[in-house]
Amino acid sequence: MAEISLVQGDIVEQEVDVVVNAANSGLMGGGGVDGAILRAGGPAQLEARRKLRDRIGPLPTGHAAWSEAGDMKCRWVVHVVGPVFSRNENRAPPLESCYREALALCDELGAKSVAFPAVSAGIYGWPMDSAADIAINTVRATTTDVEDVRFVLFGRAAYDEFSRALGT
């Protein structure tokens, strides 16, 4: 069973096997976590994303794919596309799928440590309390060989919500 921990800080600074990217379906960069990972990974990360995009096309919501990390401390980046929040439609299943699919790819890669952001809780508008509950509950319910799962949260409010969801 994976040990789940929380870190308030910058996901690109984590010394883990895999950093999970909250990507858009085009995979070629954006704001928030996605932009930070692209900047930290440098030209090699950009090229790895181009190759991935050319190979698979747009990444659907709720799915995951991996690329080399480029200049980052981690070895791989697992890209997930979270859903945009909606008050009128239950989009929790694709958000749960992001975490499950990312962990499945970590297992395929042989990764023992992974850093997740709060997927969909930035520009995609997912309320942080719900995002935290979904993330923690999904990781807890997923069978994986990953030993170290950490959620790296940019601000204190996000950290506090994940702490509540984790029960710490």
- Give the Cα-Cα-Cα angle 64, 115, 127 (nearest 5 degrees): 75
User: Rounded to whole angstroms, how far apart are CA atoms 134 and 150?
Assistant: 15
Mean pLDDT, consecutive 10-residue stretches, the chain (168 aa), reads 93 97 91 92 95 96 97 97 96 98 98 98 95 98 98 96 96
User: Rounded to whole angstroms, how far apart are CA atoms 51 and 46?
Assistant: 9
The helix (run of H) or strand (run of E) holding residue 124 is none
pLDDT at 112 (0 to 100): 98
Report in angstroms the alpha-carbon separations of 157 from 8, 105, 128, 150: 10, 29, 8, 17
Torsion from C-alpha of 153, 159, 161, 163, nearest 10 degrees: 120
pLDDT at 70 (0 to 100): 95
pLDDT at 31 (0 to 100): 83
User: Rounded to whole angstroms, how far apart are CA atoms 147 and 145?
Assistant: 6
DSSP 3-state percent helix, strand, coil across the chain (nearest 5):
40, 20, 40
User: Rounded to whole angstroms, how far apart are CA atoms 74 and 102?
Assistant: 15
Q: Which two structure tokens, joined as six digits, stand for 68?
A: 């080399």
Contact 136, 149 (CB under 8 A): no
Which amino acid type is present at position 31? G
Domains in the chain with CATH codes: 3-166 (3.40.220.10)
pLDDT at 46 (0 to 100): 94
Give the residue numbers marked as catalytic: 34
pTM of the model: 0.96
DSSP helix/strand/coil, 21: strand
Strand partners of residue 18? 76, 114
